[in-house]
Amino acid sequence: MFKTRLDVPTVALGLLLLVGVLLRSKVGPVRAVLDHVVCIALLSLSGPASTVVVAVLLPLTQDRRLPLMRRVFNGAQAVLCAAMAGLVYVRTGGVRGDAVLEQPGHATVSGFLAIVTWLTVNAALMCLVLWLDRGGTSPLTFLRRVAAPTAPAMTGYGLLGVLLSVVWLGGLGIVAVFLVVVPLLVARWTLSLYETERNAQAATMRAFIQVIETKDLYTRGHSERVSEGVGVLGRHLRLTDDRQQALEHAGLLHDVGKVGVPTRIIQKPGRLEDFEMDAIRLHPARGVELIGNIPFLEEVKSAVLHHHEKYDGTGYPAGLAGENIPYFARIIGIVDAFDCLTSTRSYRAARGVEETLEILLQDRYTHFDPRLVDAFVEVIRKDGWKSAAADQPAPDETVRVAIDHDDLSLGSGGGASGSAAGPDAG
């Protein structure tokens, strides 16, 4: 069953796999796809044993900057996946060589079952490692966020491996690699460049926000925490990938307009004059002006402009109420207030997470969308939240203010949310 020989497909595809060494530093996603396609193709071209032999080469294609134990584990994982997939391929009647052309349907079914086996064993091994680690990502989180979303794509790549073997055996031989694999690699390489560009854009935004937040020692990191918080809520609400990314961008940029607010107003240790309040209230509109000409941020504008609206219509800048407030703005308003209350300010200590959740629940219908508050409270109580207070300086006991003029989402001077002690939200 597992006899093999160094035939042309084994040698040729083995060498193709080693091309991954040349790709490893630039296009990691290409390497992963190449590994999968080659190994699945070898099942019907040369048999399971050849697939296992070639899988042994996979550690050579890994980034040498990875720890040795991780590279060893990855290599062993690939060999186990290949062996189990090969076993299933044979046990379900999978054929190899010219017999594939005589029974293409049977070979495809066996190939599909082998692919499913490969992905299942791979996911099971990862879950085992995460369970043994106990300090990082949970197995269930890995299955939900990584394994399940990538399974359809990896199954498709595996079926391309089956197609490669059929085209190869159909008479084209090694030329099949150029017809099937090369276009796939080019497509994956293009996608990786797009991903790199998106990451660069995100890094640029974070750097810009950090410059803004240097105006106030107590609000450093606030925008990134809001982005993280809305991201957690967005995943809980099962937003699509493009919606999720747009929401996280909106969370990161919601206070970008504060770059136009004079530092003396932001840092003023006392009650603001009316004209100073007006300057604070202008920051959402200024934020929209700043991002208005950046195309990839087009869809976050309404969230930035309206994140200080209140559910009862008493917010600003437009006095929108209920579901007339943009969906992302309603989400950001909740997380914005939550992070501010659980952070230290110059005039008060941070509130506890549970205490803050109770304040949010109290302000349902008045300040916040009740359904979104319920969802946020549920996810925070389930997954927890690391408060920023541990990394912030202690309050300055000489400062006495009735409100946090950094932001007024929860009212002005102890408005509707008296329990929030005149609140704040950044």
> How many Å apart are CA 20 and CA 16, to the nearest integer?
8
**Residue 286 CB contacts under 8 Å (≥ 6 apart), including other chains:** 257, 258, 259, 260, 261
Residue 345 in this model has a pLDDT that exceeds 80 = no
What integer pLDDT is reported at residue 155 of this predicted model? 85
Q: Is 169 exposed, middle or buried (0-12, 13-18, 19+ CB in 10 A)?
A: buried
In the numeric block, which tokens belong to residue 342?
């659980």
What integer pLDDT is reported at residue 313 of this predicted model? 92
Q: How confident is the model at residue 331 (pLDDT cuts 50, 70, 90)?
A: very high
**CB crowding 380-410: b at 16 or more within 10 Å, else e:** beeeebebbbeebeeeeeeeebebbbbbbbb
What integer pLDDT is reported at residue 403 of this predicted model? 45
DSSP type of residue 62: S
Residue 67 in this model has a pLDDT that exceeds 80 = no
CA distances from 292 to 148, 227, 261, 297, 301 (A): 36, 19, 18, 8, 7
Tell me if 252 sits within 8 A of 205, measured CB to CB: yes
> Of 314, 313, 334, which is closest to residue 324 (Cα–Cα)?
313
Residue 285 in this model has a pLDDT that exceeds 80 = yes
Q: Count CA atoms within 13 Å of residue 286 on its CB side.
A: 14
What integer pLDDT is reported at residue 132 of this predicted model? 80
Angle (CA) 317 319 320, round 5°: 110
In the numeric block, which tokens belong to residue 68?
């040795």
What integer pLDDT is reported at residue 232 of this predicted model? 92
In the numeric block, which tokens belong to residue 233?
């809520």
Give the residue, 389 or 417, on which the prediction is more confident. 389
| 368 phi/psi in degrees, rounded to 5 | -130, 155
What integer pLDDT is reported at residue 416 of this predicted model? 35
**Distance between start and end Cα atoms, the chain:** 65
In the numeric block, which tokens belong to residue 415?
């408005």
> Of 109, 116, 108, which is closest to residue 84 (Cα–Cα)?
116
Say what angle helices 48-55 and 28-45 make with each other, to 10 degrees: 150
Paired residues of 112 in beta bridges: none
Tell me, what amino acid is at 235? R
Q: What percent of the chain has pLDDT over 90?
A: 15
Residue 22 in this model has a pLDDT that exceeds 50 = no
- Give one DSSP letter per residue of 383-419, joined into a string: H----GGGGSPPP-TT---SS-TT--TT-SSS-S-GG
Cut 0.75: pTM above it: no
> How many Å apart are CA 58 and CA 114, to the nearest integer?
19
Residue with tokens 């032999």: 53
Tell me if 114 sits within 8 A of 151, measured CB to CB: no
**Residue 188 CB contacts under 8 Å (≥ 6 apart), including other chains:** 27, 29, 30, 33
- Give one DSSP letter per residue of 70-91, joined into a string: HHHHHHHHHHHHHHHHHHHHHH
CA distances from 310 to 320, 323, 363 (A): 7, 10, 10
> How many Å apart are CA 398 and CA 417, to the nearest integer?
24
What integer pLDDT is reported at residue 184 of this predicted model? 67
Most confident of 142-146, 210-214, 347-351: 142-146
Query: What does the longest C-alpha to C-alpha distance in the chain come to?
Result: 87
> Of 129, 376, 110, 136, which is closest to residue 235 (Cα–Cα)?
376
> How many Å apart are CA 382 and CA 353, to the nearest integer?
12
Residues 320-347: what's their mean pLDDT? Answer: 88
Residue 187 in this model has a pLDDT that exceeds 90 = no
Q: What is the chain's mean pLDDT, rounded?
A: 75
Most confident of 216-230, 394-408, 411-425: 216-230
> How many Å apart are CA 232 and CA 216, to the nearest integer?
26
Model pLDDT for residues 100-140, shown as the tens digit of each residue = 777 777 778 888 898 899 899 989 988 888 888 766 677 88
> Of 289, 266, 282, which is closest to residue 424 (Cα–Cα)?
266
Q: How confident is the model at residue 61 (pLDDT cuts 50, 70, 90)?
A: low
Give the residue, 131 or 171, on which the prediction is more confident. 131
